[in-house]
Structures are given as structure tokens and as C-alpha cells.
Amino acid sequence: MYKIIKKDVHRLFSRTKPYIMKISLTTISCFLVCLQISATALAQKVTLKNKSITLKEAFREVNKQTGYHYLWSAKRVNSNTRIAIDIKNMELDQAIQQIIHGLQLSYKIQGKLITIRERENTPTVANLEQIGDNRQQETIIVRGRIVDSLARPLIGVTIRVISANKRVVKESKSDSHGEITIESVPKQSFLEISLLGYRRLHLAATENIGTIRMDVLAESLEELVVVGYITKRASEVTGAVQSVKGEELRNSVSTPNVLSMLKGKTTGLYITESTGESGAKGQVVARGQSSMTTPTNNYLGPLIVVDGVITNYQSLQDAVNPADIEDISVLKDAASTAIYGSRAAQGVIVVTTKRGQAGKSTVEARVQAGVIQPVRDIRFMNTTELIDFMDTQMKRYWEQTPSIRTTFPNVADFIRERRVYTDEDRTRNFNWEDKIYSNGNFTNTEVGVRHGTHKTKFYMGVGWFKENGALYDNGFDRKNIRFNIDHAISSKLLARINVSSIIDRITKRNGVPELYMIQPFMYPYDNAGNLLDSLPVRQSSNYGPAYTTWTQNFLAETGYDNTKLTKVQNHLASISLRYNILPFLSFQTSNSLNFVGTNVNSYLDPRSFSGKYGGYPYLFSPTSAVLPNGTLEIDDTKFVDYLMSNTLNFNKTVGGNHVISALVGQEWGKRTTEIMDIDMYNVLPSERNMGAAQNFGSVINVAYGFPYKPSGNYQERATFSVFGQADYSYAGRYMASISVRTDATTNFGRDKRYGTFYSFSGGWNISKESFFKNIQAIDNLRLRASYGTSGRDLGDGYLNTTFYSETARYEQVDNIGAVITQLANPMISWETLHNSNIGLDIALLKNRINLSADIYHKRSDGLLQQVSLPSAQGALTQYQNVGQIVNRGIEVSLSTHNVKSAHFNWHTSFNFSYNKNKLTRLYQDSLLDSYSRSYYRKIGEDINVIKAIQFAGINPENGNMQHYNFDEKGNQIIVEGIGQVSNLANWQRVGQATPRFFGGFTNSFQYKNYSLNVEWWFQVGNYTQMSLVNNFQAPTAPRLGRNNVVFADNQHVWQGPGDMQANYPDVFSTDPNAWTALTYRSSKMWGNASHARLRNVRFTYSLPNGVLKALKLARADVFVSGDNLYVIKHKDFVGVDPEGAVLGGVNTSYGGAGTGFANPRRFLLGMQLTF
């Protein structure tokens, strides 16, 4: 898939012995003739312009241009080794040195023959005569240090000592600290400093050359861009592809979730993290939502490919550990994704992991430790605030109810009679919020080892991440290991083996009550200081005195293992063999096996209050005939994926400028799914296994006496594909690519089983045209264009199957019966995505400014969706192709090197993504509500459109909410009761759940050994449900007596008649219409979730070279970092975190950013060492 070019070059030494001889005139003449022949050979000129060719192809060009033949041993020299070279009119001797640079090869020219052989591990000297001359010259010792643009030491840099007559007399390499020491250097010589991927430097030889800074070549950044089944230079890519280095990811937020690290670093990827719980995975969509979710499949993200293996992972967190990543490529347009066919309609994320390297072993270790602080932008009331609030509610209740005023002429008497608190409670104030949300901590340890020989290379990485979250009893524990092995079985047969295991353990408290149920004057201890096992919940009643229910005291249950424990095992193994049939033709076979096992174990100990009543105390009482007495629920899911892929690959350069590559391939895949779900009660203490349960059934079954049986299923599905791709490049200026793929799946009927997808694309490197050479300010200018298709089969199994549900209770009696739940549809077929893209890449001012821009248009036809059939047919669903979605967008990525000096550097990167989504077609009545027959999606609307009844302000006279309605003539009128707006056609657009644009902004500063990185994320134009408002601030009678949150500064609650400033209703109302006003039906419940987030600030100190040498280290960095430090929110948003929008599916129920757990702040201290 890509080439690994060795960078370590060993010096060659040759030794001479003095000879005493007599030289005749004839001998001298012959010697002079030989010198003339040698001079003629070295005067030959060679040109190889911007070539990426094999060693054999390079020497063929040398033969064509000079007439010199070449010779090597096929057992000793791999002629298929690819090299990158760009030379012009270079002498033959120097040209050969450039060709074999870094390949551990040596050469010898005899007559018209160039002999290539393996280089011995001895220093090199150009020729014997020059040595003799140098011994007579005055020499010096050259010392210095080689670093990159960030002052980091460069290891393995080649330094050649070139004499005055341009002959190489010595060669050396920089050590692990970037330092060089070269003895016996002639004073009149100069140094040539080179390293693959960096600009070559020439300077005069002096005793102290100081610190030499090397700049990266723009072309070197293009070497390893993985596109489909092949690897290209970035300058050869004709599609929309972005790459992010693993080091850049790891120097970001502190998390084991790669998706979170990737956020804001590439265009087109909208990534949401709607909860701060430990182990949360987040969601991602590439270039807008082009498909729809279903009840069993809500994944709308890209296909994930790891080291060439297509996976079924729905989260990068499951696929790979961050420490093992070399780089990530994001493929977004058809030219990049069509070769993956039906899997790639949502884009592709290609992960390349680290691999071994020949030479000295390298060990990298990273250790981090930090604290986690909960972010609580809302605050629950303390005792004084809550009592005052409840008294106000009771007063409003008294004022609005004539019958109560008759019974209680004095409002104080009414409050005293019906209140839920006592006089003693006024003196109690317990901060329950601090017990549920408190500081957490985490540690992370990662070690990676690289080693190898010229035949076998390996990489091994291990890691352990452990987090005790800021949410009560919430934790995450991850252990991972990876082995990557590359082995050359012979000069023609190469093997690659990858094995990885990731084991996660996520813990959540099972049964922590909502804070609104616990008043601050509830005390968790009795008079003796012992923890109570339960707490009284006193609530007001509409009809009489306050009443009491009971809830668990979760502090008392700390000693019991009342948790929901999720164990996830991810094991991925693959082996590939590549056989080089000819220098330009190879065959590769790859086989992979992926196992994902998820076990969810929810347990309540019978000794605890929660366990005794099964977490539902309102269903049982101490006198109930049957009690749960400990419950256990086990959900176990296993996925096994097998994939076999075979490709025939062709790559050949014709005539020096024409590069042709092609591949044909075949894939076969199979997935098996096994699911089990079982509920149990009467479970033994401290036992959370099936053998400890005496009864099977759920607490609902127990409470109502329904029969119960465990459930489970087993599924198999298979896919088969054939594909091909061809690429052409002329002189690096003009590129063209075409691909086609046919997929078959068992999800559809026989007549609809096959789907064919294609793409074609082209590119033009304008900056390589001859007419562009004199434009100095522009270093690179390139145009790209592509068009193609890809598909989707939804990922669910058995789309074309009728399902029956068996029940033991039918028609309200204990009879066995079965009902149809899903109706087969033999006419459903593939979703097809038509994707077009135009892109521009430009680099200015010696690559200090780099801009990339893309415009795209995506049309998704035949949307697959599980729809509800008319209610007259029964409670049925059916999969159908229901419509068409169009996404249009613009993406811009800009990176600049603002300040560049010896000691200070400042880099900025900015990316911006704009997307507009539109539903452009509906088929028949597929998107109609099954009962009201009213549209909930209309043509021309965003697929994630949010509709509600428009809020019209607060009635200043009574404090009730007002809304807009339309009369029969279409005139807009204001109504007070939201129930009067029953026609869904009168619901108006509020916004959409996804942003109009989003992006990232990063600044990196480096001064000597210090560096500072500041990373922002922003999104604008999306709305989310403010569930906090509904849960706590709706003026409903059921809220009487409950705990509440402190109103925000921008919430002006109605104070009394004539209040014109109020934007929130009265705190209490007896009108049921007022109760339901603050629900998702009102636009007041939807908040603008636009925000900007300071995601990460990281400060790093790199130990100086002297310290590294003393500690025998190659590199050592110490860093401190902070995550999620500040959020700028819309002024009208009320909630803990605006990042709560969930991508929509088929209804109007969206996730909210209300009273959940926000993304916490993280502060860490870490160290990274390289040995």
C-alpha cells in the first residue's frame, strides 16, 4: 500500500596498502588513457525529472541517456525498490549517488559498466588518489547539530564531505541527538547535508557549523496519502483527501477517543460529543447527512479502514488506540471513495498504524496523569432558595384557585398546611450536586517499540488508560496491545501481519436518582450519624396535604456493586501476502478476522434499597406478595466479520513521463451476529452471573404477573464485490483516474442484489507547466475535479423479509400468538449517492501559505427507511426507498507559517466547512405519519428540520405563554393555549439540528525549546432542545415541591400583572395548557446551539541536547495541558452544554442539551520519552 524508504546510510571504508613499483613510460601512457576514459564517463549528464520509479527503471534511464550498462545480483539487490528522485543535467557519478542514496548500496564504474552491490559496513572513500591527496592537506574536526523547523533533533541526516574537485571523500550521519562529529575533514572542502523529505543544504566546512535548521520539502508531505487500495503523492491525488499525522492528534485533547482528537483538524467532518460521561464515543457525519437512520441502525458516519482492512466499526475509539496511529486520511469525494462501493456513501476514514523500521531499536514512552472537573453552568437551588421558590409557587396556586381561597382565606395558612418542608428543614442544607458531580482523575501509559532488519521489521504498542470520571461512580478502563510485522520471505514475496486487541470496561452507577427528586433539606444521615438506606420525597398535591414517596440514598449504596458494567472486546487480525510477479506487476491477497463482543451487565444487590425493589419502589411496597430482591440484566452481543480481498496491481513508467497504474480485485465478506438478552430477579448478594439468579423475568413482569422468557437471535449476512481502478499521470502535470465496483448483498431480493458504482477524476498541476516557472510567489497550483457514485444497503440484515413476533399473551389472555411486525418488500434496492467535487490547492511564498478549497454536490437517491404503514393495516413497518436528499457545500483549509526565525516560529491552521441539506423528493406517502396522515418532512426542507409552534411572548397580564396560530383564511393570530394549535401544518420552522457551518482554528508557537498550542472549535446555526427548561422550569402542578435550578441571568420570569420585560412564564399555573407550553411543541423550548469552544491549550518543554546526552535519551518532552477550558454560547441558550444535538432520523424527537452531564474540563501533566 505504501513504501518505507530506509534513511540510515552506513559509511563505506576502503583500505589501501602502499606499493613500491617501477613505472615505465608505457605504463604512464596507459594510466593517462584510463584517466581520460574515466573523465569522459564522469562528464556524462543525467536528467530524471520528478520521478517516482523503481531502481531498475532508474538505471534503464541512465542507460538510455549515457550508454552505460548496469549489473547487480538479483539475490543481493531488490530492483523493485521504489525511489523518489528529481535531478537535472547531473554528472553520472553524482547521479548514481542520488539514485542509490539511502539504499545501503555501493557502485563501481569500469569502462562502460556500472556495478551495483550491497554496501559493506565500512566507511567510504571516493577514490584512492583523493585519499592520498587529503592526507597531505590540513584537516579539521567538524562539529554541529541538525534540527528541524521546530528545533527538534533530526536523526540519521547524511553529511557528505566534498572536496574542491567535487569528489565525496567522507560521509557521516547525525546521531540520536541530531549531532555530528566528523574528523579529518580537509579545510578547503564543503558539506552536503541531506535527509529524505528535507531540502538539501550545502555549506563550507568549518570546525563549528553550529545548529543547522532543515526545512521540509513540500513534496515529502505528499509521500504517503492512502487513497482507496493504493497510496499516492498528494500532488497526484485527484479527489478530496485530507491527512492528519498521528503526532498532531496526540498533541491535542487528552482522551482515548480518536474521533475527539480528530475534531476540528479536517474539513467536512461534523463531530459531536453530546455527553461528558467516561467512555462516550460521540458521533460523526461527513459532508452532511445523506442518508437516514433506522430504529436499529443510527450510524451515519464514514467507513473505517485500518491498515487496508475494511471494518464494520462505528467508532474510531473501538478501532484503534491513538498511540498506534501513524496518520489518518479522510476520503470525502467519489474519486476517493467509489472504489469501496456500497460501504462508502458516508465517506471513508483510513487509519495507518505505525510500523517497524530497520536499524537501531526505538522505544517511545508517554505517561500522563490528570484531573477532571465537572462543568456545571447550571446550579441547583439551596435550601433557602428552594423554600422561597416553593412558597412563591404555593402563593400562585392559592391565587389561581377560588376553592382553595375559600378553605384557606389566608395564604400563609395554606402554605403552612400544604408545604413539603418543616421548620427544622430550614436549618438543613446538603449539597447533593457535589456528591453526584465531583472531581475525577485519569492516568494514561503508552509504550511503543520499533525495530527490524532489512528483512523483518516489527512494531509493538501497549497502553493502559484508566479514568475515574467526574460523574458519580462513572469510570472507563482500557487496555490495548498491537503487533505489526513486515517480513520479506524472499526478494519477491512480502508478508504483513497485523494483530490488535482493545479491551474496554465502562462503569456507570445503576439507579442514581435525578436531582429534581432530592430536596437540599433531605439529609442522608440519621440522628446517630448512620447513612439512611432510603430518603423521603415529599411532594405537594393538587387535592390535599403533601404526600411522601421514597427513593434510594445512593450514598448508602456505595458499598454495593450496583452498577451497569459494559465490557467491550475488539480483536482485529489480518495477514496479507504480496508477490512481485514482474517489476511492474504484483499480486496481493489479504484476509482479516474481526471480533467485537459487548456484554452489558446491570446489577442491583438485594441488600440495598434499590435492589430490594428492583429500582422501581413505586411498583412495590414492603407488603407486596413478590419482591425483586436483587435484579440482574445481561445483554450480550457478538459480531464476527471475515473479509478476503485479492488484487492484481500494475505500475509502469513508459517513456520517462507516462506513469500508468491499475488494479483489479475481488472481495468476499461475511458477518455473523449473535444476541442474547435475559432479565433475572431474586439474585444472590455480590453475584452478577446467571447462576446466582433464582427467577427469570423483569421487574415489570414481576409487578404485573406477566410470563417471561429470555430473548435472542442469530443472523448471517454476506457481501461479494469485484472492482477495478486505473490511474494515469503525465510528467506529474496531468492526472486522470477511473474506478468501478460491483457489490452484491443478501439484504435485497435476487433481482435487486447487485449494485454498480463508478468514479472518474482528473487533476492539473499548473505550477509544473513551463509558462509558470517564472512566477516565484506561487510554489504550487493544482486543480482537481471528480464525479462518481457510491451506495448504501443500510447495514441492517433481512431488509426483504417478513418478520413475525411471537407472544405468550395475545388478546389479553395467556394464548400463544404471532403478529407481523415487518412486511417484506421485494422492490427495495440500493441507496445511490451521486457525488461531484471541484478542488483547488495553492501554496505561496515558499510554502509558508497553503490553501485548499473544495466545492461539492451530493445527491442521494432511493433513501432506505423503515416506514410505518397505514394504521388500517395493523402495527406494521416496511423498508422502502422513500426519497432523495441533496447536500451542497464549501470547504476551506488554510495553514500559514506566520513567523519564521531561528528561535521563534508561529504556525496557524484554520478550516471552515459549510453545508446545506435539502430533501428534494418524496416517494408516494412514505414519510406520512401513520395516524394523522400529516407531513412531518416536506420537499425543500432540511432532513433535520425542527418545527414547532412559534412563541409569541409572555402575556403581561397573567404570565402565560402566547403562540402564533393561523385562522381558516391563513391570517396569523395569537393564542394563549398551545393546545389550540393542533394542525401540524401550522407548525413553523425553528431551525435545523445540524450547523450551517463549523470548523477549527489552531495556533502553534515555538520559542527555542518551548512550544504552545491553542486549539478552538466553532459551529454556527444549529438548534437543540433545551430539556432543562421543560424538566424544571415549566409552570406545571407536578413540579410542586420538587428541587429546581436557579434561573439564568437572561431568564426574566414574570413577576406580576403589567410585567412587560418577562420572557419566561409565571412559576406556576393551574392551566394544563400552560403545563404543556414548555415542551418540544413550543419554539421556546429550542435553543440556538451555536458556540465556540476552547478545546485545548498545551504547553511543552523539550529538554536541551546536553541533558538528553547525559540521560542517554533521543528526545524528552514535558507538557501540561487543559481541555474544554471555555465555551462561548448564544445568549438565549439555557443548559449545561450546547453540544447536545443528535443527528435526526424519522421523527421530531431530538437529543437535548439540558440537564445531562456536560463535557468536563481536564488538566494533565505528562512526559514523552524516546530512547
What is the dihedral angle through the alpha carbons of 150, 151, 153, 154, rounded to the nearest 10 degrees?
A: 50
Read off the CATH number of the domain in which 2 is found.
Answer: 3.55.50.30
Rounded Cα–Cα distance for residues 1103 and 470 (Å):
33
158 with 143, same domain: the answer is: yes
CA dihedral 697, 699, 705, 706 (to 10 degrees): -50
Residue indicated by cell numbers 557528505: 160
Domain that holds residue 5: 1-119
Q: What are phi and psi of 69, to 5 degrees?
A: -90, 165
Average pLDDT over residues 437-458: 92
Of residues 1118 and 979, more confidently modeled: 1118
Closest C-alpha among 588, 459, 583 to residue 1: 588
CB-CB contact of 809 with 706 (8 Å): yes
**For residue 447, pLDDT beyond 90:** yes
d(CA 907, CA 895): 7
Confidence of residue 75 (pLDDT cuts 50, 70, 90): low
- pLDDT tens digits, residue range 500-541? 999 999 999 886 666 777 889 989 999 899 999 888 887 776
Three-state DSSP class for residue 277? coil
The DSSP string of 194-229 is E-TTB--EEEE--SEEEEEE-PBPGGGGGTTEEETT
Using CA atoms, how far apart are residues 463 and 443, in angstroms rounded to an integer? Answer: 11
Which segments within 709-814 are labelled E, that is strand? 711-730, 734-745, 754-765, 778-792, 803-807
CA dihedral 1166→1111→147→1009, nearest 10 degrees, is 50
Residues 1 and 94 in one domain: yes
356-360, 442-446, 844-848, 932-936: range with highest mean pLDDT: 442-446
Q: Which residue has the higher pLDDT, 1138 or 81?
A: 1138
Q: Is the pLDDT of residue 121 over 80?
A: no
Instruction: Name the residue with higher pLDDT: 418 or 76.
Output: 418
Residue 12 lies in a domain: yes
Pair 131, 210 in one domain: yes
Our CA dihedral for 238, 242, 247, 253, rounded to 10 degrees, sits at: 180
Judge whether 76 lies within some domain: yes
- Does residue 417 fall inside a structural domain? no
Paired residues of 954 in beta bridges: 961
pLDDT digits (tens, 9 = 90+) for 143-167: 998 987 767 788 888 898 988 777 7
Boundary of a domain, candidates 199, 216, 233: 216
The three-class DSSP label of residue 488 is strand
Helix (H, G, I), strand (E, B) or coil at 964: strand
* pTM, to two decimals: 0.80
Residues 98 and 151 in one domain: no
Q: Are residues 22 and 112 in the same domain?
A: yes
Alpha-carbon span 350 to 573, nearest angstrom: 17
Q: Which of 172, 199, 216 is the last residue of a domain?
A: 216
Q: What is the mean pLDDT of residues 911-927?
A: 82
Nearest to 376, CA basis, from 431, 434, 429, 430? 434
Cα–Cα dist 2/331, whole Å: 17
Query: Which residues does 451 contact at the CB level (< 8 Å), separation at least 6?
Result: 356, 357, 361, 362, 457, 458
Residue 48's closest CA among 77, 90, 6? Answer: 90
Please state the rounded mean pLDDT for residues 479-491: 94
CA 855 to chain centre: 23
Last residue of a domain, one of 180, 198, 216: 216
Residue 1043 has pLDDT above 90, yes or no: no
Q: Is residue 98 part of a domain?
A: yes
Q: All 3 cell numbers of residue 776?
A: 516565484
Cα distances from 1089 to residues 893, 1020, 1038, in angstroms, run 24, 7, 29
Range 616-629 average pLDDT = 75
Instruction: Say how many residues make up the chain.
Output: 1171
**Based on the domain organization, do 131 and 113 belong to the same domain?**
no
User: Rounded mean pLDDT of 355-362?
Assistant: 83
Do 75 and 38 reside in the same domain of the chain? Answer: yes
Task: Tell me: do 111 and 90 sit in the same domain.
Answer: yes
Strands 754-765 and 658-683: unpaired
Rg (CA), the chain: 36
Count up the domains in the chain and report the number: 2
What CATH number is given to the structural domain containing 142? 2.60.40.10
Same domain? For 165 and 78 the reply is no
Q: Would you state the cell numbers that stand for residue 474, as one nine-digit string?
A: 462513572
Strand partners, 1022: 992
- Residues in contact with 443: Cβ distance below 8 Å, sequence separation at least 6, in sequence order: 367, 368, 369, 370, 464, 465, 466
Residue 393 within any structural domain of the chain: no
Averaged pLDDT score across all residues of the chain? 83
CA 1017, 1023, 1024, 1026 torsion-angle sign: positive
* Residue 977: predicted pLDDT: 73
In this structure, the answer to whether residues 129 and 106 fall within a common structural domain is no
Q: Tell me the pLDDT tens digit for each residue of 203-239.
A: 888 888 888 888 776 544 444 566 767 777 666 778 8
**Average pLDDT score over residue span 227-255:** 83
Assigned C-alpha cell, 529: 450519624
Same domain, residue pair 163 and 109: no
Convert the pLDDT of each residue in 1072-1083 to its tens digit: 777 666 677 788
Do 830 and 752 form a contact (C-beta atoms < 8 A)?
yes
Question: pLDDT digit string (tens) for 184-195?
Answer: 898 888 898 988
78, part of any domain: yes
CA distance 1005 to 323: 23
pLDDT digits (tens, 9 = 90+) for 1009-1041: 999 999 999 999 998 888 777 777 777 655 677
Residue 160 domain flag: yes
Contact of 693 with 657, CB cutoff 8 Å: no
H or E stretch including 98?
A: helix 92-99
Give the C-alpha separation, 61 to 44, whole Å: 13
Do 1085 and 1025 touch, CB atoms closer than 8 A? yes
Q: Stretch 677-687: mean pLDDT, rounded?
A: 91
Higher confidence at residue 900 or residue 1070? Answer: 900
Cα(748)–Cα(744) distance, integer angstroms: 9
Q: How far apart are CA 1164 and CA 1104, in angstroms?
A: 22
pLDDT at 696: 84
Cross-strand bridge partners of residue 232: 225
Please, which residues have CB within 8 angstroms of residue 529's CB and are 6 or more apart in sequence? none
Q: Is residue 87 part of a domain?
A: yes
> Can you name the residues that pair with 168 across neighbouring β-strands?
162
Q: What is the pLDDT of residues 942-985, one digit of tens each?
A: 888 888 889 999 999 988 889 998 887 888 888 887 777 767 66
Q: Are residues 101 and 79 in the same domain?
A: yes
Q: In 3D, which of 686, 707, 678, 895 has the Cα closest to residue 807?
A: 707
